[in-house]
């Protein structure tokens, strides 16, 4: 063989070796924890950034892969450990974080608006991928569906190694398992209110360590990540490397990257958790008006309207019951504790033997913890035109006495009084009284 042939062969071999080297499998990886979440049902992963390249495998809607780099409208992703391939960038959305849903039956909408069509519901504790934020709305991928949810109901979570986060068990009994699977051996049990350290996360599972020394995997749906720590994460600025990476996306596709977790204008009640307790429910109807209206129905009506108003001020609102359900008094207090409520407001309508008695009363139990909150109702409620304000009074009610969060109980009119009963059932009154309550809450925190 002539010398020139040897050289040519060597050159070919070197070229083949270079071409076979997995692009982007080293170098900048690791640094950017950016993820590409597949947004189409079934998409090809190809050997190179273009349709002529051979397909290697299929990926599916909702699956998330580490993003290595972006080139000419193609994303290079790690589709298997240490194996990368290319996917058309228009079929992926970039997600940097996972978030945990903090509300039951959270509405997933098609557009970032209250009028957006509801395309699904998310469960409390469910983890979602965050694509971007727009005002008070966050675009997420949940179970392969892309939609918008109200940002107030999400807290950030890390995809892996959330070393310093703690969580609280929200189920009365929770199995701890050796592996993140329902089939895995049970190694122990946690109970409602147990505090655990979250060491690692897997979709749907948390690896936890309890103070007792117990460790293992639990279903993440029953562990609430403490919100205070999640806020620290939100303050983290995305790395500049990510921005240049993402500007490539901006040119190629319809998705525009918005720094994750930058919030809209600061609202008066942002960061506050208000627990609204619609009195009675289910088998417990409460009192009944002379006209036949049930207290439990009225309290739910008031809670619903109030929730909307408080949310408009940026508060996170948790209801102690959804719909016409029976919830015991200890459970109602537990909800305030678990959510670390900044204020607990119990809503009721009154009844007494004397049918002349009329008006609105604010009850508190603890002179120190509750009185300040109770007092802030005085001014807005005394300006209510429809019913007289009877004042702020001490009340020995279970939901106040056993509550370690600032709490008040509002009696919003007498169903035993014919005129009160007719008034409280009107749209005008419900609007006026919930506006007054929302004002009171705002003043309390201002």
**Using CB under 5 A as the criterion, which residues of the chain lie in contact with Zn ion when the complex forms?**
279, 286, 348
Q: Which neighbouring-strand residues pair with 155?
A: 100
Least distance from Zn ion to the Cβ atom of residue 395, Å: 11
Query: Which is nearer to Zn ion, 122 or 276 (by Cβ)?
Result: 276
Least distance from Zn ion to the Cβ atom of residue 141, Å: 42
Least distance from Zn ion to the Cβ atom of residue 295, Å: 5
Report the SS3 class of residue 384.
coil
Least distance from Zn ion to the Cβ atom of residue 153, Å: 28
By CB atoms closer than 10 A (0-12, 13-18, 19+), residue 145 is middle
Query: Which is nearer to Zn ion, 140 or 433 (by Cβ)?
Result: 433
Query: Which is nearer to Zn ion, 32 or 346 (by Cβ)?
Result: 346
Query: Which is nearer to Zn ion, 129 or 397 (by Cβ)?
Result: 397
Q: In what order do the strands lie in the sheet with 195-202?
A: 186-191, 173-177, 215-219, 205-210, 195-202, 165-169, 223-225
Least distance from Zn ion to the Cβ atom of residue 279, Å: 4
**Cα 444 to the chain's mean position, in Å?**
25
Query: Which is nearer to Zn ion, 279 or 359 (by Cβ)?
Result: 279
Structural contact between residues 117 and 241, judged by C-beta atoms closer than 8 angstroms: no
Structural contact between residues 364 and 395, judged by C-beta atoms closer than 8 angstroms: yes
Least distance from Zn ion to the Cβ atom of residue 319, Å: 16
Least distance from Zn ion to the Cβ atom of residue 359, Å: 15
* Residue at shortest CB range from Zn ion: 348
Interaxial angle between packed helices 295-312 and 427-445, expressed in degrees from 0 to 180 and rounded to the nearest 10: 50
Query: Which is nearer to Zn ion, 158 or 332 (by Cβ)?
Result: 332
d(CA 146, CA 112): 12
Structural contact between residues 167 and 198, judged by C-beta atoms closer than 8 angstroms: yes
Provide the H-helix boundaries in 192-314: 227-234, 240-252, 295-312
Least distance from Zn ion to the Cβ atom of residue 296, Å: 8
Query: Which is nearer to Zn ion, 398 or 445 (by Cβ)?
Result: 398
Least distance from Zn ion to the Cβ atom of residue 365, Å: 16
CB neighbour burial string for 411-439, b if at least 16 within 10 angstroms, e if fewer: bbbbbbbeebbebbbeeebbebbbebbbb
Greatest Cα pair distance in the chain = 117
Query: Which is nearer to Zn ion, 112 or 279 (by Cβ)?
Result: 279
Query: Which is nearer to Zn ion, 6 or 394 (by Cβ)?
Result: 394
DSSP per-residue letters across 1-21? --HHHHHHHHHHHHHHHHHHS
d(CA 396, CA 40): 57
């Amino acid at each position: 063989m002539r010398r020139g042939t040897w050289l040519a062969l060597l050159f070919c071999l070197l070229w083949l070796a270079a071409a076979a080297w997995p692009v982007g499998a080293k170098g900048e990886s690791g640094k950017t924890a950016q993820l590409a979440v597949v947004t189409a049902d079934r998409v090809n992963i190809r050997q190179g950034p273009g349709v002529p390249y051979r397909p290697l495998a299929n990926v599916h809607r909702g699956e998330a892969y580490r993003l290595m780099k972006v080139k000419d409208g193609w994303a290079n992703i790690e589709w298997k450990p240490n194996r990368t391939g290319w996917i058309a960038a228009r079929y992926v959305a970039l997600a940097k974080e996972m978030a945990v849903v903090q509300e039951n039956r959270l509405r997933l909408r098609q557009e970032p608006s209250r009028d957006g069509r509801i395309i699904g519901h998310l469960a409390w504790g469910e983890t979602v991928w965050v694509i971007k934020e727009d005002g008070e709305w966050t675009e997420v991928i949940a179970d392969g569906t892309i939609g918008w949810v109200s940002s107030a109901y999400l807290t950030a979570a890390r995809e892996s190694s959330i070393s310093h986060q703690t969580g609280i068990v929200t189920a009365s009994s929770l199995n701890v398992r050796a592996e993140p699977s329902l089939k895995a051996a049970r190694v122990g049990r946690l109970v409602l209110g147990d505090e655990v350290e979250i060491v690692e996360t897997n979709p749907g599972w948390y690896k936890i360590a309890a103070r007792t020394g117990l460790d293992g995997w639990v279903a993440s749906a029953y562990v609430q990540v403490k919100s205070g720590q999640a806020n620290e994460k939100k303050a983290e600025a995305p790395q500049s490397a990510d921005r240049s990476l993402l500007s490539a996306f901006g040119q190629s596709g319809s998705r525009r990257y918005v720094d994750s977790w930058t919030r809209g204008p600061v609202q008066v009640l942002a960061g506050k958790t208000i627990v609204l307790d619609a009195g009675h429910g289910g088998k417990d109807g409460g009192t009944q008006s002379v006209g036949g209206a049930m207290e439990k129905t009225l309290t739910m009506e008031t809670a619903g309207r109030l929730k909307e108003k408080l949310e408009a001020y940026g508060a996170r609102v948790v209801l102690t019951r959804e719909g016409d359900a029976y919830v015991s008094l200890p459970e109602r207090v537990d909800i305030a504790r678990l959510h670390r409520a900044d204020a607990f407001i119990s809503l009721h309508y009154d009844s007494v033997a004397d049918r002349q008695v009329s008006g609105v009363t604010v009850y508190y139990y603890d002179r120190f913890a509750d009185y300040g909150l109770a007092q802030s109702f005085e001014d807005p409620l005394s300006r209510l035109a429809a019913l007289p304000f009877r004042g702020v009074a001490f009340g020995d009610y279970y939901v106040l006495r056993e509550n370690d969060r600032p709490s008040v109980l509002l009696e919003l009119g007498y169903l035993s009084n014919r005129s009160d009963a007719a008034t409280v059932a009107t749209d005008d009154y419900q609007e006026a009284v919930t506006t007054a309550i929302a004002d009171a809450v705002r003043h309390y925190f201002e």
